[in-house]
Amino acid sequence: MPNRIRVGIVGGAGYTAGELIRILLYHPAVELKYIQSSSNNGLSVSSVHSDLLGDTDLVFTDINFEDTDVVFLCSGHGKSIDFLNNTVIPKHVKIIDMSHDFRLKRAGNDFVYGLPELNREEIRVATKIANPGCFATAIQLALIPLAANGLLTDEVHINAITGSTGAGQAPTDTSHFSWRDNNLSVYKAFEHQHLGEICQSLCQAQPGFSKDVNFIPVRGNYTRGIFVTAYTKFIGTIEEANDIYTKFYASHPFVNIARENPDMKQVVNTNKGLLFLEKHGNKLMIISCIDNLLKGASGQAVQNMNLMFGLDERCGLNLKAIGF
């Protein structure tokens, strides 16, 4: 295909970079040219991402930005700012950052927050994207339709469980198999770092929103996927709620409204967000599930790239759920 999008990846050794490589190698409009990794320079990509043996002969190398259309920054939180401060990137190169560094609005931050279901038109004309966090994506998908209709009138309560890949590839005490298997634990209750971007987006959708968002994150004893259960006050009927969500996501191809209580395997290995609603008294319960490495990270980044380059946002993202 002529005029393919020339892609470079910075920080190519981790989980999100691995997922990104897998998608881009088979993306019909992409030429994956450069994958940089400071700790693996000169090694074959498949020696680090062993499942790619036979799929690519690429080696980790520096990026020639003059020969690149878009660069994905996958080096982790705090490192993107340092990289951009110390690297000259030509103006023609678009940037999609996977870290937390540019998600929150502040003076001098010209990155667009990359949740397509909230900012699709802004993403289409952007040159710099701050890809959302995984928990933040799942929770925002659950709540933004209410906010966009001015219906968040009370505090919100959220319990969300994530797989071990959400903690990154570097081993820690709480991601080690022997600790994580057959185990559960709460961490960063009420103060998780994704709360900032969640509240920022809710205020964008519903100006003046100031209620508490009570978030309890849980470490799950599995590798990938996020399962969110949220509830808040809602006076309408379940039929009205389903109508609000169905209309809000009608033009967004990756978000589906389930009519039966879902399970996480329906979304693992896909770029889907799956939502389910139930009414209990005066409360609306919303279940939201995504794959933390795809719709919560690399899949959403490719979705953003597609929008930035005028492609169908589904391009290269027709991925199969694992099923069982």
Q: What is the pLDDT of residues 69-91, one digit of tens each?
A: 999 999 988 889 999 999 999 99
User: Which residue segments constitute the domains of the chain, with CATH numbers given?
Assistant: 5-131+296-308 (3.40.50.720), 134-290 (3.30.360.10)
Q: Is 120 exposed, middle or buried (0-12, 13-18, 19+ CB in 10 A)?
A: middle
| Residue 203 annotated as catalytic | no
Per-residue confidence (pLDDT) for residue 178, from 0 to 100: 72
Q: Catalytic pick from 134, 199, 289, 315?
A: 134
In 3D space, the residue among 105, 123, 144, 132 whose CA is nearest the CA of residue 226 turns out to be 132
pLDDT of 323 over the 90 cut: no
In 3D space, the residue among 63, 54, 53 whose CA is nearest the CA of residue 12 turns out to be 63
d(CA 298, CA 15): 9
d(CA 27, CA 33): 13
Tokens 């933040």 belong to 136
Per-residue confidence (pLDDT) for residue 1, from 0 to 100: 43
pLDDT of 2 over the 60 cut: no
pLDDT, tens digit, 9 for 90 and up, residues 7-28: 999 999 998 999 999 999 999 9
The two three-digit tokens of residue 231, written as one number: 């509830």
The two three-digit tokens of residue 123, written as one number: 């993403």
pLDDT of 258 over the 60 cut: yes
Per-residue confidence (pLDDT) for residue 172, from 0 to 100: 67
Contact in structure between 71 and 11 (CB atoms under 8 Å): no
